[in-house]
Amino acid sequence: MAEIMRPAIQISNLSFKYHEHSGVSFNDFNLTIYEGERFGLFGPNGAGKSTLMSLMTGLQKAQKGTIQLLDEDIHAKGTRKLFGFVPQDFSLYEELSPCENLNFFGAWAGLTKTETTSRIHELLDILGLTAVKDKPVMTFSGGMKRRVNLAIGVIHKPKILFLDEPTVGVDIQTRHAIIEYLKQLNDAGMTLVYTSHQLAEAEDLCNRIALMDHGKLLACNEINELLHTHKQHDLEALFLQLTGKEFRN
């Protein structure tokens, strides 16, 4: 499959170390994620998932190596239009309504006024937010805020979507709705790069995963292949086998 598909994200010989503190570091790290994939990044706390996400979205700059998104350097002008980002924290203005948030972020994502207006209606409808479109987000439940957070990330129909634990702290119904929507986006051609601690969710959503720890890639393949190779019956057992059972801070 990899041979016929175009890389959506190409990480080559990446080296990165935080200046301020002794956080996770990457040394000669390589990873390729292909167009149309639903790719999951998994690992315990301190594995480097969020740091890798920051590097792939251009929030951090690597000391060495390159990251390319659809053959464009991550820091090149125009690359930011290619991807969307749904951070774990609610990255929105809680004083504003979903409509007002989407209007602002749509403009910042490079959409015209007409495009933004049309996308706002579409997204509010899909994510079940039409009834509360004019209410301040601060009055919403955690699940509703997650849906607004997701809507903002996809308003400009990016080719690649980075999701950092998009379903943390939500009820079953909201999680189901979010996962189903993400599958729809993927069916439409969007590449998904996803991190989570929910392994069951990963089995449902991802078609390929990477297990990592301390800034290193421990395993990377389709889920069935990984289970077969490591002779495990589920992802949790595989996770514990590769990352150990000791507590992480």
Partner 1 sequence: MFKLWATIRKDALLLIRDKVGLLLMFAMPIILVLVITNIQNATFELVNENKIPLLVCNKDTAHTSIEFIAALKHIGMFEITEVSSDLTNESLNTNMHEHDALVAIVIPATFSSTILKKSTQVSSKALHEFGITNDTTNSAAAIHDSTSITFIYNPVLQQSFRQSIHGALSSAIQIIEGKKLVQQLYSTLNEKPMPDNLQMEVLQKNIFIDEIPAAKDGSKTIPNATQHNVPAWTIFAMFFIVISLGGSVVKEKLSGSFVRLKTLPTNYLTALLSKQITFLGVTLLQVFVIFSLGMWFFPYIGLPALNLPKDLFGLLIISLLCGWSAISYAICIGTFAQTQEQANGFGAVSIVILAAISGILVPSFAMPQSFAVIMKLSPLYWCLESYYGLFLERGSLKDVLATALPLVGFIILIQGITLIGLKKKNLI
Nearer to partner 1, 95 or 236 (CB): 95
By beta-carbon proximity to partner 1, the closer residue of 77 and 233 is 77
Least separation, in Å, of the C-beta of 123 and partner 1?
15
- Cβ burial of 179 (10 Å; 0-12, 13-18, 19+) is middle
Structural contact between residues 222 and 203, judged by C-beta atoms closer than 8 angstroms? no
The answer to whether 199 and 42 have CB atoms below 8 angstroms apart is yes
DSSP state of 161: E
Angle between helices 113-126 and 98-108 (to 10 degrees): 130
Closest CB to partner 1 among residues 124, 220: 124
Which residue, 123 or 235, has its beta carbon nearer to partner 1?
Answer: 123
Minimum CB–partner distance for residue 53 and partner 1 (Å): 10
- Write out the binding residues for partner 1, residues 96-155 only, by CB under 8 A: 96, 100, 103-110, 112-113, 116, 136, 152-153
Report the residue number, 16 or 83, with the smaller CB distance to partner 1. 83
DSSP state of 127: T
Q: Least distance from C-beta 117 to partner 1, angstroms?
A: 11
The binding track of 36-65 with respect to partner 1, each residue x by CB under 8 A or -, is: ---------------------xxx------
SS (H, E, C) 66-113: EEEECCEECCCCCHHHHEEEECCCCCCCCCCCHHHHHHHHHHHCCCCH
| Residue 185 makes contact with partner 1 by CB under 8 A | no
Comparison of 135 and 214: residue with beta carbon closer to partner 1: 135
Q: Near partner 1 by CB under 8 A, which window of 5-13, 37-45, 74-82, 211-219?
A: 74-82
Q: What does the alpha-carbon distance between residue 185 and residue 123 come to, in Å, rounded to a whole number?
A: 12
Min separation Cβ 61 and partner 1, Å: 8
* Residue 230 Cβ vs partner 1, minimum distance, rounded to whole Å: 35
The answer to whether residues 191 and 8 touch, using CB atoms and an 8 Å cutoff, is: yes
DSSP string for 32-53: EEETT-EEEEE-STTSSHHHHH
| Token output for 10 | 């190409």
Shortest reach from residue 116's CB to partner 1, in Å: 8
Count of residues near partner 1 by CB under 8 A: 31
- Write out the residues near partner 1 by the rule CB under 8 A: 57-59, 78, 80-81, 83, 85, 87, 89-93, 95-96, 100, 103-110, 112-113, 116, 136, 152-153
